[in-house]
Amino acid sequence: MGQPPKNLSRGHLLFRPIDLGEDSTPWFKATQDPAMYVWTGNPVPASLVEARRVLENYQTHPDIYAWCVRDLEHDDMIGVWWIGVPYREEGTTRSFDAQRIFRRYWRTGRTQAARRIIYDYVFQELGIDEMRAAAWADNRNSCLSMEAAGFHLADERHRWNPKHGVMMREREYVLTRENWRDRPKKWVDWRLPHDV
Ligand SMILES: CC(C)(COP(=O)(O)OP(=O)(O)OC[C@H]1O[C@@H](n2cnc3c(N)ncnc32)[C@H](O)[C@@H]1OP(=O)(O)O)[C@@H](O)C(=O)NCCC(=O)NCCS
């Protein structure tokens, strides 16, 4: 798996499969910023080879579909986004998602635009009923970014954070098809056509 079923494109954003030849260097450069890794499991890659290996893992992981996300206007990679291969549970089709957006693009409207592309796709085309995502409660960017998209808190538990060496609150968020349909309309539409 790993390879996504299709490219997704709208406005100035493109989701396409990871290309190790093209994406490893921009990925390595952007992931040298430790701010990208405060709340994630893996460490800052120590070399280009290691960065490439991380991307390759996303690309070939059997449980996910992973895309490289590009800003077409600036011909630049903005990060990586992945979703879980959909599964059935309790009569519901579920998946999960996670992303690494390069720091220079945080809070620029691109993450929100990317969410619009990916969630329209999963709910309208893949037939998913419910997306799930986990974040440490102190990962303010991640929690607020999800809440702004309509995710709601489903669970919060204490879990050992090996990177920080302490127990921390971890949140599980859920976004249903209805949450997404009824999401806050105040979103800035970063170079995307307006909703119809
Ligand atoms: C988590 C991540 C994807 C969030 O993306 P982002 O571009 O920073 O945030 P968004 O643009 O989606 O935020 C949406 C809204 O949430 C709120 N928000 C997000 N972060 C905020 C912050 N630090 N303070 C206040 N409000 C915030 C704002 O209302 C924002 O809208 P605005 O910018 O128009 O005001 C990004 O920061 C990232 O990739 N971080 C590193 C890796 C990571 O932690 N990934 C997630 C864990 S798997």
Ligand 1 center to residue 102 CA distance, Å? 11
Best residue among 145, 172, 191 to mutate for probing ligand 1, ranked by most atoms within 8 Å of CB = 145
Query: What pLDDT digit, counting tens, does each position of 10-56 carry?
Result: 999 999 999 999 999 999 999 999 999 999 998 999 999 999 999 99
In this prediction, what percent of the chain has a pLDDT beyond 90? 89
Q: How far is the CA of 17 from the centre of ligand 1 (A)?
A: 23
Ligand 1 centroid, distance to 51 Cα (angstroms): 23
Task: For residue range 53-99, list pLDDT tens digits in order.
Answer: 999 999 999 999 999 999 999 999 999 999 999 999 999 999 999 99
List of residues 6+ apart from 168 with CB closer than 8 A: 136, 137, 138, 158, 159, 160, 161
Residues lining ligand 1, judged by CB closer than 6 Å?
A: 36, 39-40, 98-101, 106-107, 111-112, 135, 139-142, 144-145, 148, 188
Q: Atom 42 of ligand 1 has which residue's CA nearest to it?
A: 100
pLDDT tens digits, 137-150:
999 999 999 999 99
Q: Is a pLDDT exceeding 90 seen at residue 183?
A: no
Ligand 1 center to residue 145 CA distance, Å?
Answer: 4
pLDDT at 184: 74
Using pLDDT thresholds of 50, 70 and 90, give the confidence band for residue 196.
Answer: very low
Q: Could you tell me the pTM of the whole model?
A: 0.95
Residue with tokens 């390759």: 56
Domains defined along the chain, listed by start: 8-181 (3.40.630.30)
Helices (H), the chain: 20-30, 48-60, 110-120, 140-149, 177-181
> Which one of 139, 141, 188 would you pick to mutate in the ligand 1 pocket, going by the greatest count of ligand atoms within 8 A of its CB?
141
The preferred substitution site among 40, 144, 185, 189 for testing ligand 1, maximizing ligand atoms within 8 Å of CB, is 144
Provide the 3-class DSSP secondary structure of residue 68: strand
The DSSP bridge partners found for residue 138 are: none
User: Would you state the pLDDT for residue 3?
Assistant: 82
Q: What is the predicted pLDDT for the residue at 169?
A: 98
Residue 152 banded pLDDT, cuts 50, 70, 90: very high
Residue 129's CB is within 10 A of a number of other CB atoms, namely 17
Per-residue pLDDT tens digits for 113-127: 999 999 999 999 999
**Whole-number Å distance between alpha carbons of 195 and 168:** 38
Q: How many angstroms does the Cα of residue 141 sit away from the middle of ligand 1?
A: 4
DSSP 2: B
